[in-house]
Chain A
């Protein structure tokens, strides 16, 4: 899961805050930027928001406020962020969907930090998530001793967000069992949480909203019901479409892996990274980078995170069994493994790619082609 959080954040201003905490929340890490933006923000704010929608966009996409540089938090199409912000501003719940490594959680954290200065109201969805974590639970000792009372009530993050009029983040919503997901349905339409034991309702304050994230690979595990889907505006986060962006994300991350695992190998050359990323992008898109040739895409998804692992793997192979320099042979096996996962038809896809695209490129691609060809 480490790659997931880190692929997009490398531009961030970490290190500006020193503390023992392994990872500070966004609103504390970027506190100075948020303050500068808030001070200069003259536009109208939706009820319960700390910043205006335009200021939130500035915070996410980066720019300049007076003397303060705002680092870009999300690298990609601004339009997507605009749709996300407009969704939250119109009081609709937001569902971010994407491949692993497309900065879903990253974006949701920063949206929450910018809009209500609190990104910590969080439900981490798992197969074991229960309805109590969405509604409320009890302090059973108190409950037994005194019977149901507001004092014995232990509110969930969603419950607290309702009361405070804040954003709550629901991570990996499709990993929760569907009956748990369903608890959200009336909550989102009525904006009220009933506590029948105590005979009262918690009315949502203005500003309350939900940002959920879901992984495209979980499709079919616990699909959201149509009723719940209808309550969300769905925004699909794309994998980086532009090769330079992806190359820089991958290269940086591979360097970090190398140093943190203390691999006895030099990080792969920029050209090697570019080649791997290009293969990934071309197969993922189903066409060559220049758009001139259509390709068949493998059945599995090729995420940025996997490109990183192919290169990391290559480094480990080169370090432990090779001469310390990542060769094309070291990459070929990883590449084949990433493309051909479950379906044997994917092997034909890879062979076609080798013969129709890689072979014709010749030149610098030659060694990688030869190395791959040996394997299939």
Chain B
């Protein structure tokens, strides 16, 4: 690449050009990044000037990567990425879409064999300089996303964000709409370049930047001026050099301002960085994906650029609305062409209310909501979003560069001493104590901090890989281990080529394992429909040590808890979260936000229970188990929960004749366990539920529910057995056949010693001989008898 460039230089350059002494150093074209009309104008401008060198504001050490842009296999959107080689990994991202002015300019230069260079500070310098600053993900010259800095001068205080202030003054709802209205629809030659130059000049006069930011801007501009002068010194005619830079910098790339000297360049700090060209997506470009870089509606801007290249943006609104209608139709909602026509007319009408010649995205959205969504924005929001954002995915030539997530992975593997497991052979990962399991507790005898928590860090790393679907290690912790302790984990590792592919597939999710895992959980959260699933994700994010994801998952749980009317899911979520509290020492998690959430779920569970308990027999088992879950949660935090409400709800269920008999039984059992059920009340309920005349399956179901817990309390209860006896005796053959399944299930769980006690009670009741009865119970049934029984019971599957 370098050789090719030198070659090019020799053919077009006559040494000895001098830079101008006043005015612009070269032909400067200020742009906004990711501005389709800017891209359109830049292309025209380049054709007109026909420069020998095209200089673009971008990390100068990435110049070598430019060649990849012309590769036929490169499909935008792509991003130049530079990241530090040491932890904590910080990165700068330079996204390029087909409608980026920079992309258009670089492609133009490469196609015509002209010199193409990046002229901004090298990424290595930029990252070294911003060491102290908060993580910065993008060189964004709009500088509108600088929320972390406090305004300091009067102008800053007054304006806050000058871009929003401009929008407000001109009566537009936000800056993007103002920008689109004024810049993205104007195809008059030179109008874009001249008006954006004025905008940049006026903005500079405001001095709204914070001092730190200001200083950085000045350093970058001095560096860019130096690079332009260097290019002129190489022999390029200043009038045939085109500089593409942010609008804000355009006014100061002039001869009067000083350029950076050799000594100053020497003094710039640097850190080692890795650079790469990575595939990007419209979704990541749109601000919804969480990056400050990009713009809200890449799909819409792409369409705008395509329309502009066709010669006019007049058809843009029609194209956009027709596409929205198309998606609505695909989703099964009939929308006629007449409605699309009306929407286009309305959008144009609204544009003319503001004296604009073309509707903006905002107008189109409102028109779509009015005409296609019947007045409700919610009806069309999803479809508008899909069309506006688009789903384009970029591509880079295969095998060119390693993605940063791969680097991150191997760095972790080394730090955590997991290299030995990178073999295509299954191995159990040995913990710090050389046992076959990881001990998540601090190793008090370890010499360094790293070693003390190595097993915990390994566990976190492996959990993150699991979340990302990278099949390197599988969790083999058994239920028994889990019941015994919260600090023991067993992992089996095996490295296959598939793992590498899975790793690369996750590159789009983020640049490090941590970021990708967080995003992956975020995606799963958005898809989670039930509160139990969300609570489960909360537990997984705790295991992955992702505090932001945990917070998001808990917020999602609290949101879903409001809507989710599924009692079983709510109770499951309450139990899941209360388990998390148990992790607190091992995983160092903050339980403060958990407790109110558990309380909320507990209350909601209590409120939902009466309705849920009126269910059919099939569902009754789950609901009964869920009541048990809530009971367990209630025992864990007796002071913090509305336990009184829960017990009164249980009481109501136990007394509710419409409730499923099994659940009423469970409710009674819990009340009995808590010792708040009066004897006479229980007796009355037992005799009402289990008495001759009650449907056999219901009576047996109630008994089964009652027997689910704390059976000793039942054994001594003579009235219960009297009722049971009467109940069974009153059944005829058919009824018995119906009841026997539930009865067997209930009695099957009794121990032999318990059965003996029951026999004693029954013997007393029936006035028979206790020993004889016992013998009858304990005699093994022989095969002949079993066959006869099976015959008798017909197709009932008793699993005898």
Check if A230 sits within 8 Å of B603, measured CB to CB.
Answer: no
A354: shortest Cβ distance to chain B, in Å? 10
Check if B375 sits within 8 Å of A234, measured CB to CB.
Answer: yes
- The segment from A8-16, A32-40, A85-93, A151-159 that touches chain B is A85-93
Q: Does B648 contact A (CB under 8 A)?
A: no
A213: shortest Cβ distance to chain B, in Å? 12
A351's closest neighbor in chain B, by CB? B607
A119: shortest Cβ distance to chain B, in Å? 22
Q: Does B60 contact A (CB under 8 A)?
A: no
Determine which of B346, B376, B563 lies in contact with A233 in the assembled complex, contact meaning CB atoms within 8 Å.
Answer: B346
Check if A92 sits within 8 Å of B366, measured CB to CB.
Answer: no
- Cβ contacts B603-615/A at 8 Å (1 or 0 each): 1100110010000
Q: Which residues of B contact A53 (CB under 8 A)?
A: 349, 352-353
Q: Does B336 contact A (CB under 8 A)?
A: yes
Q: Which of A259-294 contact B (CB under 8 A)?
A: 286, 293-294
Check if A233 sits within 8 Å of B353, measured CB to CB.
Answer: no
Q: Which residues of B contact A234 (CB under 8 A)?
A: 370, 374-375
Q: Which residues of A contact B352 (CB under 8 A)?
A: 53, 86
Q: Does A356 contact B (CB under 8 A)?
A: yes
Asked whether A82 and B350 contact (CB < 8 A) given A230-B339, A296-B563, the answer is: yes
- Cβ contacts A94-117/B at 8 Å (1 or 0 each): 010100000000000000000000
Check if B559 sits within 8 Å of A294, measured CB to CB.
Answer: yes
Q: Does B175 contact A (CB under 8 A)?
A: no
Number of chain B interface residues as a range? 20 to 34
Q: Does A132 contact B (CB under 8 A)?
A: no
- Cβ contacts B598-641/A at 8 Å (1 or 0 each): 00100110011001000000000000000000000000000000
Q: Does A164 contact B (CB under 8 A)?
A: no
Check if B346 sits within 8 Å of A355, measured CB to CB.
Answer: no
Q: Which residues of B contact A57 (CB under 8 A)?
A: 353
A370: shortest Cβ distance to chain B, in Å? 16
Q: Which residues of A contact B642 (CB under 8 A)?
A: 355
Determine which of A87, A229, A286, A294 lies in contact with B349 in the assembled complex, contact meaning CB atoms within 8 Å.
Answer: A87
A85 CA to B346 CA, complexed, in Å: 10
- Cβ contacts A153-175/B at 8 Å (1 or 0 each): 00000000000000000000000
Q: Which of B247-274 contact A (CB under 8 A)?
A: none
A92's closest neighbor in chain B, by CB? B342
Check if B353 sits within 8 Å of A85, measured CB to CB.
Answer: yes
A298: shortest Cβ distance to chain B, in Å? 12
- Cβ contacts B341-374/A at 8 Å (1 or 0 each): 0100110111011000000000000100011001
Asked whether A235 and B370 contact (CB < 8 A) given A89-B349, A90-B345, A92-B342, the answer is: yes
A114: shortest Cβ distance to chain B, in Å? 14
Q: Does A79 contact B (CB under 8 A)?
A: yes
A246 CA to B366 CA, complexed, in Å: 25
- Cβ contacts B639-671/A at 8 Å (1 or 0 each): 000100000000000000000000000000000
Check if A355 sits within 8 Å of B603, measured CB to CB.
Answer: yes
Check if B349 sits within 8 Å of A86, measured CB to CB.
Answer: yes
Q: Which residues of A contact B349 (CB under 8 A)?
A: 53, 86-87, 89-90
- Cβ contacts A337-350/B at 8 Å (1 or 0 each): 00000000100100
A355 CA to B606 CA, complexed, in Å: 12
Check if B346 sits within 8 Å of A356, measured CB to CB.
Answer: no
Check if B346 sits within 8 Å of A87, measured CB to CB.
Answer: yes
Q: Does B562 contact A (CB under 8 A)?
A: yes
- Cβ contacts B175-201/A at 8 Å (1 or 0 each): 000000000000000000000000000
A101 CA to B73 CA, complexed, in Å: 60
Determine which of A90, A345, A348 lies in contact with B346 in the assembled complex, contact meaning CB atoms within 8 Å.
Answer: A90
A5 CA to B366 CA, complexed, in Å: 27
B351's closest neighbor in chain A, by CB? A86
A211: shortest Cβ distance to chain B, in Å? 14
A230 CA to B336 CA, complexed, in Å: 9
A97 CA to B374 CA, complexed, in Å: 10
Q: Which of A230-254 contact B (CB under 8 A)?
A: 230, 233-236
B349's closest neighbor in chain A, by CB? A86
Q: Which residues of B contact A295 (CB under 8 A)?
A: 562
A82 CA to B350 CA, complexed, in Å: 7
A89 CA to B611 CA, complexed, in Å: 53
Chain A binding surface SS class: helix
Check if B562 sits within 8 Å of A87, measured CB to CB.
Answer: no
Q: Does B23 contact A (CB under 8 A)?
A: no
Q: Does A24 contact B (CB under 8 A)?
A: no
Check if A236 sits within 8 Å of B375, measured CB to CB.
Answer: yes
Q: Does B558 contact A (CB under 8 A)?
A: yes
A86's closest neighbor in chain B, by CB? B349
Q: Which of A107-161 contact B (CB under 8 A)?
A: none
Check if B370 sits within 8 Å of A83, measured CB to CB.
Answer: yes
Q: Which of A65-84 contact B (CB under 8 A)?
A: 79, 82-83
Check if A229 sits within 8 Å of B374, measured CB to CB.
Answer: yes
Check if B558 sits within 8 Å of A83, measured CB to CB.
Answer: no
Determine which of A86, A95, A97, A230 lies in contact with B353 in the assembled complex, contact meaning CB atoms within 8 Å.
Answer: A86
Check if B342 sits within 8 Å of A286, measured CB to CB.
Answer: no
Q: Does A54 contact B (CB under 8 A)?
A: yes
A53 CA to B350 CA, complexed, in Å: 10
A351 CA to B346 CA, complexed, in Å: 45
Check if A79 sits within 8 Å of B366, measured CB to CB.
Answer: yes
Q: Which residues of A contact B371 (CB under 8 A)?
A: 233
- Cβ contacts B458-488/A at 8 Å (1 or 0 each): 0000000000000000000000000000000
Q: Does A352 contact B (CB under 8 A)?
A: yes
- Cβ contacts A222-234/B at 8 Å (1 or 0 each): 0000000110011
Q: Does B173 contact A (CB under 8 A)?
A: yes
- Cβ contacts A34-66/B at 8 Å (1 or 0 each): 000000000000000000011001000000000
A61: shortest Cβ distance to chain B, in Å? 11
Q: Which residues of A contact B562 (CB under 8 A)?
A: 286, 294-296, 352
B797: shortest Cβ distance to chain A, in Å? 39
B642's closest neighbor in chain A, by CB? A355
A237's closest neighbor in chain B, by CB? B375
Determine which of A233, A296, A356 lies in contact with B370 in the assembled complex, contact meaning CB atoms within 8 Å.
Answer: A233
Q: Does B6 contact A (CB under 8 A)?
A: no
Check if B353 sits within 8 Å of A54, measured CB to CB.
Answer: yes
B167: shortest Cβ distance to chain A, in Å? 14
Q: Which residues of A contact B607 (CB under 8 A)?
A: 348, 351-352
A351 CA to B600 CA, complexed, in Å: 12
B347's closest neighbor in chain A, by CB? A86
B339's closest neighbor in chain A, by CB? A230
Determine which of B376, B600, B604 lies in contact with A236 in the assembled complex, contact meaning CB atoms within 8 Å.
Answer: B376
Asked whether A352 and B559 contact (CB < 8 A) given A82-B353, A233-B371, A234-B370, the answer is: no
Q: List 25 A-B contacts (CB under 8 A).
A: A53-B349, A53-B352, A79-B173, A79-B366, A82-B350, A83-B346, A86-B346, A86-B349, A86-B350, A86-B352, A87-B346, A90-B342, A90-B345, A90-B346, A90-B348, A230-B338, A233-B375, A286-B562, A293-B558, A294-B563, A296-B562, A345-B611, A351-B607, A352-B603, A352-B604
- Enumerate the 10 nearest inter-chain pairs by beta-carbon distance, A residue then B residue, closest first: A234-B375, A86-B349, A236-B375, A348-B607, A90-B349, A294-B559, A86-B350, A294-B562, A90-B345, A296-B562
Q: Which residues of B contact A (CB under 8 A)?
A: 173, 336, 338-339, 342, 345-346, 348-350, 352-353, 366, 370-371, 374-376, 558-559, 562-563, 600, 603-604, 607-608, 611, 642
